[in-house]
Amino acid sequence: MKFFVDSADVDAIRDLAELGMVDGVTTNPSLILKSGRDITEVTREICEMVEGPVSAEVVALEADAMIEEGRKLAQIAPNIAVKVPLTWDGLKACKQLAREGRMVNVTLCFSAAQALLAAKAGASFISPFIGRLDDINLDGMDLIADIRTIYDNYGFGTEILAASIRSVNHIAEAAKIGADVATAPPEVLKKMAAHPLTDKGLAAFLADWEKTGQKIM
């Protein structure tokens, strides 16, 4: 499973990238707002830090305008994935941008039928939003499973990018189902290594080691 950082915070991304675990980054207009930075400037900086795909989202609603914005965003760096919303215009823009050889991430996916359309439109990534489905008492993980089944049934190459991840369990569950990518906020990715029994076990080992009076030379 690939790990993307869902953030436009360059310090947080750099921190994780240094661990060698970051395969890409996803941003959206809300994350750009949170960063307080100019979209072109911050996206360029992120693209220089991370080798893999960096999603940058269009904000136009009409296909031709989305395509124009997508082309501009794609000029920022070769590893840009243009993010378009899952609307008919977004799908039209996806088809054209994919035809031009650009990576496209179709975002705001909340149903298996939508995911099927994105694959047919040539999307490199489909972003089903797990957390936002859970928020309205639906099961986001069921959607990941349905999309996996559909894509495997027909051999679609579109990668399932599990998004709107709120917990470490979301990542583990999506991985069990076979999502290709998980994009998560930095704080969730950092929590992945934590377990109270690891801390407890380590403390016990170190206390016993101290008693041996030895040193590793």
Contact yes or no for 140/164 (Cβ under 8 A) = yes
Q: Closer CB to ligand E4P, residue 35 or residue 213?
A: 35
Residue span binding ligand E4P (CB under 6 A) among the ranges 85-93, 124-132, 187-195, 204-212? 124-132
CB of 133 to ligand E4P, least distance (A): 10
Q: How many residues does the chain have?
A: 217
Q: Closer CB to ligand E4P, residue 3 or residue 129?
A: 129
Query: Which residues 15-34 are close enough to bind ligand E4P by CB under 6 A?
Result: 26, 28
Residue span binding ligand E4P (CB under 6 A) among the ranges 17-25, 88-96, 126-134, 171-179? 126-134
Indicate which residue of 83, 176, 211, 215 is catalytic: 83
The CB density around residue 180, as the number of other CB atoms within 10 Å, is 18
Q: Does 129 bind ligand E4P (CB under 6 A)?
A: yes
Contact yes or no for 183/26 (Cβ under 8 A) = yes
Q: Does 164 bind ligand E4P (CB under 6 A)?
A: yes
Torsion of Cα atoms, 38 then 43 then 44 then 48, to 10° = 140
- 190 catalytic, yes or no? no
The pairing of strands 181-184 and 80-85 is unpaired
Contact yes or no for 103/157 (Cβ under 8 A) = no
Residue span binding ligand E4P (CB under 6 A) among the ranges 66-74, 86-94, 125-133, 209-217? 125-133
Q: Does 6 bind ligand E4P (CB under 6 A)?
A: yes
Contact yes or no for 17/50 (Cβ under 8 A) = yes
Task: Say how far apart CA 211 and CA 75 lie, in whole Å.
Answer: 60
- 122 secondary structure, DSSP code: T
DSSP-assigned letters across all residues of 39-102: HHHHHHHHHHH-SS-EEEE---SSHHHHHHHHHHHHTS-TTEEEEEESSHHHHHHHHHHHHTT-
Q: Does 43 bind ligand E4P (CB under 6 A)?
A: no
For ligand E4P, which residue of 72, 132, 190, 191 counts as binding (CB under 6 A)?
132
Residue span binding ligand E4P (CB under 6 A) among the ranges 46-54, 89-97, 128-136, 147-155? 128-136
Q: Does 163 bind ligand E4P (CB under 6 A)?
A: yes
CB of 95 to ligand E4P, least distance (A): 20
Catalytic machinery residues: 83
Q: Which residues bind ligand E4P (CB under 6 A)?
A: 6, 26, 28, 107, 127, 129, 131-132, 163-164, 183
